[in-house]
């Protein structure tokens, strides 16, 4: 298949999946889908969603996470079993995983295992990154790889911050790659801006895929910078809401109850991308250049900055609404991550923001899922892959 035809086929399939994502509601997915998907470090299921919307290709068999709160959201969204477990302590006994999800090393169906380990230990945005001690979460990538290969999956998909490939802790990625390659897998990797797949947010992430396919390659981004989706595209239609209140039609369109001092600072910030005027707010902010965007407003006609679990707090970065004098609502943060309004979140306001901020944007996941689905289809038909 020629390169232009490959791009066209990918884009058409991806766009169909994007439409399904917009219309997504909690459904029971077909048990006769050709490929099963098991999600480690699943959180509330952002990475799973990119596969789930291609319901004729993939079936979500369940998720594993250490935290029971996002697991409750995962169960409701996918109507699939979950396992609360610390991956680092699962050991070599995979019996509990087999029993929970009814999968074995001789599964009989193609299997994809997802493993998006916590990224905080690798991120260069973490304070004193270059001097901080080793984060115990960094060892999870190698541990996950050792468990995943026991099930002989057709694909293993990992997402993380780019620093796992280039930072001083990249040897953890190298450890995982060594595990995969020693078991006959080929490892491909690429760094993306999620905005390149329609996420209305600038979010740079590494995608790593281990596969025994000889033809699979990661896709190219669909959108150029000139065509990125914007904050206006994502949240411009949402109604006015005041701090601490919520919209009666959409209870998730609500933000934190800010202190009056916080509201006073935001009021002084110019609309549509403005920065905090010097001298306003805590004095420490004027002493550190890295805090220049604290209390800043999002730009209407640009993608948002990276949405994190701290997006509820304008004092944590450029997380103020472009015009309204408040921080972001749960609905706004979810949309900026490309989640459909039908997605369910569980727990307190802070817990929901954590689930959203730690998620893989579903449109980024959809890009990987699309490429895998098309590769499997071509290989099954004996055609040259995309």
User: What pLDDT band is residue 286 in, cutting at 50, 70 and 90?
Assistant: low
Give, to the nearest 10 degrees, the angle between helix 3-22 and helix 362-380: 130
Please check whether residue 118 lies inside any domain of the structure. Answer: yes
Tokens of 293: 């965007």
The mean pLDDT value for 208-213 works out to: 97
Please check whether residue 68 lies inside any domain of the structure. Answer: yes
Annotate 87-114 with DSSP letters as a single string: GGG-TT--HHHHHHHT--TT-SS-EEEE
Per-residue pLDDT tens for 122-163? 445 544 344 454 444 446 899 999 999 999 999 999 999 999
**3-class DSSP assignment, residue 60:** strand
What phi and psi values does residue 140 have, to the nearest 5 degrees? -70, -25
Known catalytic residues are 119
CATH number for the domain spanning 203: value is: 3.40.50.150
Would you call 102 exposed, middle or buried from its count of C-beta atoms within 10 A (0-12, 13-18, 19+)?
exposed
User: What pLDDT band is residue 27 in, cutting at 50, 70 and 90?
Assistant: low
Tokens of 74: 């995962």
Residue corresponding to tokens 């697991």: 71
Give the containing element (helix H, strand E) for 152: none
* Cα gap 18→53, rounded to integer Å: 8
Please check whether residue 332 lies inside any domain of the structure. Answer: no
Tokens of 50: 């990119």
Please check whether residue 80 lies inside any domain of the structure. Answer: yes
Please check whether residue 355 lies inside any domain of the structure. Answer: no
Per-residue pLDDT tens for 350-376? 999 999 999 999 999 999 999 999 999
Residues β-bridged to residue 60: 37
Please check whether residue 40 lies inside any domain of the structure. Answer: yes
Q: What is the total count of domains within the chain?
A: 1
User: What pLDDT band is residue 188 in, cutting at 50, 70 and 90?
Assistant: very high
Annotate 199-220 with DSSP letters as a single string: -SB--EEEEEEEES-SS--PPP
What is the pLDDT, as a whole number, of residue 143?
Answer: 92
Please check whether residue 88 lies inside any domain of the structure. Answer: yes
What is the pLDDT, as a whole number, of residue 288?
Answer: 64
Q: What is the pTM of this model?
A: 0.92
Please check whether residue 241 lies inside any domain of the structure. Answer: no
Contact status, residue 330 vs residue 253, Cβ threshold 8 Å: yes
Q: Which domain holds residue 211?
A: 3-228+361-380
* Cα gap 216→212, rounded to integer Å: 9
**3-class DSSP assignment, residue 252:** coil
């Amino acid at each position: 298949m020629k390169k232009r035809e490959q791009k066209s086929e990918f884009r058409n399939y991806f766009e169909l999946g994007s439409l399904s994502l917009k219309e997504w509601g909690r459904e029971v997915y077909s048990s006769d889908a050709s490929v099963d998907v098991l999600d480690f470090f699943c959180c509330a299921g952002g990475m799973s969603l990119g596969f789930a919307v291609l319901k004729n290709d993939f079936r979500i068999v369940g998720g594993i996470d250490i935290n029971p709160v996002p697991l409750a959201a995962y169960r409701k969204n996918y109507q699939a079993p979950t396992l609360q477990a610390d991956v680092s302590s699962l050991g070599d006994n995979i019996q509990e995983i087999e029993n929970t999800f009814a999968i074995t090393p001789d599964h009989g169906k193609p299997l994809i295992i997802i493993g998006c380990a916590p990224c905080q230990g690798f991120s260069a945005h973490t304070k004193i990154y270059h001097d901080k001690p080793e984060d115990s979460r960094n060892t999870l990538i190698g541990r996950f790889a050792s468990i995943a290969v026991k099930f002989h999956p057709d694909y293993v998909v990992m997402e993380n911050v780019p620093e796992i490939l280039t930072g001083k802790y990249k040897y953890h990625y190298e450890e995982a790659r060594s595990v995969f390659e020693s078991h006959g897998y080929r490892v491909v990797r690429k760094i993306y801006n999620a905005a390149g797949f329609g996420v209305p947010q600038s979010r740079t992430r590494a995608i790593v895929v281990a596969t025994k396919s000889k033809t699979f390659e990661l896709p190219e981004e669909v959108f150029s910078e000139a065509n990125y989706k914007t904050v206006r595209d994502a949240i411009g239609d949402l109604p006015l809401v005041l701090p601490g209140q919520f919209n009666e039609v959409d209870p998730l369109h609500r933000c934190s109850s800010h202190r009056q001092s916080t509201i006073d600072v935001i009021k002084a910030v110019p609309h549509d991308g403005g920065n905090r005027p010097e001298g306003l707010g805590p004095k420490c902010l004027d002493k550190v250049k890295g805090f220049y965007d604290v209390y800043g407003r999002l730009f209407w006609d640009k993608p948002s900055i990276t949405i994190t679990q701290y997006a509820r707090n304008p004092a944590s970065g450029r997380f103020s609404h472009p015009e309204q004098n408040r921080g972001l609502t749960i609905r706004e943060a979810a949309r900026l991550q490309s989640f459909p309004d039908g997605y369910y979140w569980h727990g307190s306001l802070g817990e929901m923001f954590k689930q959203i901020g730690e998620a893989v944007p579903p449109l980024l996941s959809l890009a990987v899922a699309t490429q895998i689905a098309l590769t499997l289809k071509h290989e099954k038909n004996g055609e040259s892959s995309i």
